[in-house]
Chains A and B, each alone.
Chain A
């Protein structure tokens, strides 16, 4: 239980950090599957964003963020999933993951 509370505090802190200095948006529930594309600021990597339904577990919601890696031939070669549980919406966790990955990609810190 202690560990769980610690985890939640950590996720909340990360979400807060990710939102700091940006225009925070109200979290939205019941997202349907939608896809958009965008270009990274300092990289040529194509980014595809997809919403995924979340699985609720008691009062906690399971959030899974997936990073799909493609080769130059457009074939998927690997996936990395980050998983956690939050009290309400996953949007904060997703925003944090996205911000972290985008920062790392832009600075070449993922080695790709």
Chain B
């Protein structure tokens, strides 16, 4: 078998150009091979140490649908020690912001816009997102075995954070969790860098998948519509009101100073409209 040696190609004397063509070729091959074959993959999504969610991703004919559960996975029984609790320096609470629906993301290949369902004050909305093109850097020599898959590293900048993905060429489907994909193979693990990293880990694959995508498009299309910008602004306003109220109710203790720090715990740290 002929080995492809970097920098030795006659047609592409520039290795960067050659890499781009090679990546394009792999992506085209992945799209061609995957055409017509359905895939179902299941990821575990960890937005924080507080919760783990199950996310199902379906891919067929260039359309990727991801369905994130509204409820977290049950936690294993914690072993609690009374002495540790006495020494604790922090506490975490979950804010009840009304009924939460499944987060469904529908993304068509080569289309800049994607749609997703999002919950706000107990209502479900269809949110449209002018998704920025992810420019993956696959120029890494890192190869890791994750589960049964030999994985390659790739990174991309996304809305104020850096995504680190490990994909496998064993499954030539350009899909991944949430809104991510576009690599030559299926994403096996992905995380965002930062103070509050999010993790996605591939747990199950059905390929080819013979079932249906459990999404009622008629229901989704009937939902009230919002742009992502409008949705994010509404959520930020709601959160700000709740946190402001909470701050005003903080107990006053002499000699104790209380400070509030606003955190955006989503994967997205900075949106396009916030840069202006």
The answer to whether B91 touches A70, judged by C-beta atoms less than 8 angstroms apart, is no
Verify if B95 is at the interface (C-beta below 8 Å from A): yes
Q: How far is the CA of A86 from the CA of B103 in the complex (A)?
A: 46
B256 near A36 with CB under 8 A, answer no
Complex Cα spacing A63 to B219, Å: 52
Contact assessment for A111 and B258 in the assembled complex, using a CB-CB cutoff below 8 Å:
no
Given the complex, which residues of B lie within 8 Å of A96, measured CB to CB? Answer: 253
Chain A, range 90-112, C-beta contacts under 8 Å to B: 90-91, 94-98, 100-102, 104-105, 109-112
Complex contact B97–A10 (CB within 8 A): no
Can you list, as one digit per residue, whether each of A52-73 has a CB less than 8 Å from chain B (1) or not (0)?
1010000000011111111111
For A63, list chain B residues within 8 Å (CB).
Answer: 89
Q: Are B92 and A98 in contact (CB under 8 A)?
A: no
Q: Which one of B70, B78, B90, B100 lies within 8 Å of A37 (CB-CB)?
A: B78
- List which B111-136 residues lie within 8 A (CB) of chain A: 119
In the complex, A84 has a CB within 8 A of chain B: yes
What's the Cα separation between A74 and B93 when bound, in Å? Answer: 10
Q: Is A82 an interface residue (CB 8 A)?
A: yes
B135 to nearest A CB, angstroms?
26
Check A81 against B78 for contact (C-beta < 8 Å): no
Q: Kindly provide the distance from the CB of B241 to the nearest chain A CB, expressed in whole angstroms.
A: 10
Interchain CB contact under 8 A, A98 and B91: yes
Q: Which of A36, A45, A78, A82 contacts B243 (CB 8 A)?
A: A78
How far, in whole Å, are A8 and B254 apart by their CA atoms in the complex?
9
- Give the shortest distance, in Å, between A68 (CB) and chain B (any CB): 4
- Min distance, Cβ B75 to any Cβ of chain A, angstroms: 7
Scoring B residues 78 to 108 as 1 if CB is less than 8 Å from chain A, else 0, what string do you get?
1111111111111111111100100100000
Q: A10-B255, A48-B50, A98-B88 are in contact. Are A71 and B95 (CB under 8 A)?
A: yes
